[in-house]
Structure formats: C-alpha cells, structure tokens
Amino acid sequence: MTLNACLTPFAESLRESLFDDADAPTALPAAQRIEFDHILHLRHAGETRCRLRAELVGAEGAPLVAVLGGISADRHLAANGACAAPGWWEAQVGEGRPVDTARLRVLSFDWLGADGGLDVPIDTADQADALLAVLDHLAIPRIEVLVGASYGAMVGLQFAARFPERIGELVALSGAHRPHPYASAWRAIQRKIVALGQLQCADAQGVALARQLAMLSYRAPEEFADRFAAEATVENGRVRVAAEDYLDSCGLRYAQKWQATAFLRLSESIDLHRVEASAIRIPLSLLAVEGDRLAPPEEIYALAEGCAADCRVRVLRSKYGHDAFLKEVDAIGEVLADALQDLVCREEDRA
C-alpha cells in the first residue's frame, strides 16, 4: 500500500495544509479500519442501506474517546499502524499528544454522504445513529468522552441527547444546538452556486467557487487584514485583490477532492440540525471563539444556559474565527488536555 492509498479524498487537501511529511511520527500506534453495510432509518429518506467506515486506534481495554471533526474531516485522525498517511488532526491526536493514543482508545468515522453516494437529505441525528451503529458493530458499550469540533460538535450534541447512556462526557468545540440564521443564509448561497455549476455542466467550478465563499465564513477579517493587506492590482484590464490567489487555490484543491452531491448534502445537514438544549443531561464542556461567524459565542452561551447538566464554557480569542480548532494548536491542545485529564489519570491509576 502506498502512503496515500488509504486516504479518502475529502480531507486530503486539509492535511496538506496542516502537516509536513518531515514531521511524520516514527512510532505508529496499533489501529484497525472498519467497513460494513448497515440499514439506517434516515429522518428524511426512510430505511436506507449505508456503508459505514470507521477507524479505531489505541490499546484494547483503554477508555474510549470518540473524535469527530468538520464536514471536510474523515475517520483518519493521525498516522497509525493501519494507515501511515498523515491524518487531519495530527496536532492533537497521537502518542504524547492531548488525545494520547498511548493511554486512550480513539474512534472516528466517515460522515454519511461524504462519498457522494447518498443523494438524499441527511440530518445530524442520522450521523448520531451511524455512530451508534459503529459502536454496536464493534461491541463498544460506551464512549467515555466525545470530542466534537464544528460539525462534529453538532453530531456530538445529537448523540448526547439521543443516547445519554452511551456517553460519559461531551467536549463541543465551535458547535451549537442549532444553526445561526446568518450562517444558514451563507450556506444557502453556496449551495445555489454549486447548483448553478451543475446546470452549466461545470460541477467542479461550482464547488470551487462555493468553497471560496465558505472560506470567508470559516476565517475572520483579522486574518485577512494581516495576510492580504496589499493594494489591488490591474491585470489584463481587470482588478485583482490580494486574497484572490489564496481563495482560488483553496477552491481548486477542494474541487479536486469533493463531489457536488457530497458538498450539497452535508451543507444541508448543518441547516437541518436541531437539538433541544434541555435534552443534554451529561457533563458538557463548550468552546466559543470570538469572531466565529458560524457558531458565534452567543449561541454557545444559549446552549450552556439551556442544558440540563453540569456545563463549563471557555472562550478563545483568535484571528482564525471558526477554524481556530485547526489553527490554534496550543490553545486547543490545552482545552483537550484539560477535558481528558481525569480520564487519563484514571487509566494511569488502573495501570
């Protein structure tokens, strides 16, 4: 198997921007990759046969931590014995890192619809059901801590509300119990751009342009002010601004990996997301980021005020906005280490 043979296409471009092959770990933890068919009752499509794909890393018998990322993330969190390619969260997952695979067993799975083969409305509750199916398939009775970031936080909230007996604690980074109307409007425009590309038989161009618009919602104005302050230029009779090369690159890389159907259905699933805050009855740690336009702090506060459980909220100031969970490596590492400290200590005492 070549280094890239085990990569799913949807997170590869993200990995390229976050991981340097020169820093690849030399000792790879034991892991297994799981694929199986399962019939799920989807909220808006009824009974549907789905292909579920998961990855499980770490020693058997260790406390289980589930880690779920954004809609561009997949099951491969970090390089391991089953797949030596870099994962999308190398900075946080691995031996000696905040999510320590030497002391914890770590699970993640691919999102329903991410392969483009499921062209029906998908709900975050469907994703939670898929996670439950993975647990049952592996005969895992309980997730001790679920760490969810962005879309993964939404799915984590659904899982906690629906299956509280199967989870001990939830750490939700930059994700709330409902989509913000401003963010939903932004995504609706992105989907119209993709649909227009499909009408023109230019699917890739539509996805690329939608991704460029999405990048403006993932990041914050402060970052663009730092990086792209150069004056506009006139090229071939057209005005070009400093950020365009960066946005063009982001769109091109994304369109090479993503199908239009996958983009549309996962984008829709964010706007279908709803969880009653009062249904959350397990311990909850929330992270809000100042400048996050997709999950603004006021939404995180509303979730904290409405949930029926012990809850703590941390606020991070970052120029990276919603993408802080990927870019603010040290700060996010501290949040994760703090959330997992008791679990790691219990495992050390048991050993």
**CA 348 distance to own-chain centroid:** 29
Indicate the SS3 state at residue 119. Answer: coil
Which of 104, 96, 101 minimizes the C-alpha distance to 350? Answer: 104
Provide the 3-class DSSP secondary structure of residue 331: helix
For 78-102, the three-class secondary structure string (H helix, E strand, C coil) is CCCCCCCCCCCCCCCECCCCCECCC
Residue 285 token pair: 């740690």
Cα(317)–Cα(339) distance, rounded to whole angstroms?
19
Phi and psi at 72, nearest 5°, equal -90, -5
Q: Measured between alpha carbons, how far is 276 from 226 in angstroms, rounded to an integer? A: 39
Q: How far apart are CA 163 and CA 125, in angstroms?
A: 11
CA distance 104 to 61: 9
181 CB contacts (<8 Å, ≥6 apart)?
Answer: none
For residue 203, give the 3-state DSSP assignment: helix
**Contact call for residues 262 and 248 (beta carbons, < 8 A):** no
Q: Shortest CA distance to 275 belongs to which of 183, 181, 186, 179? A: 179
> Annotated catalytic sites, by residue?
150, 292, 322
Report the run of H or E that residue 244 belongs to, with start and end.
helix 244-257
| Residue of 16, 54, 18, 27 whose CA lies nearest to 134 | 54
If one counts every other C-beta atom within 10 angstroms of the C-beta of residue 77, the result is 27
Residue carrying the six token digits 């501290």: 334
The most distant pair of C-alpha atoms in the chain lies apart, rounded to whole Å, by 70
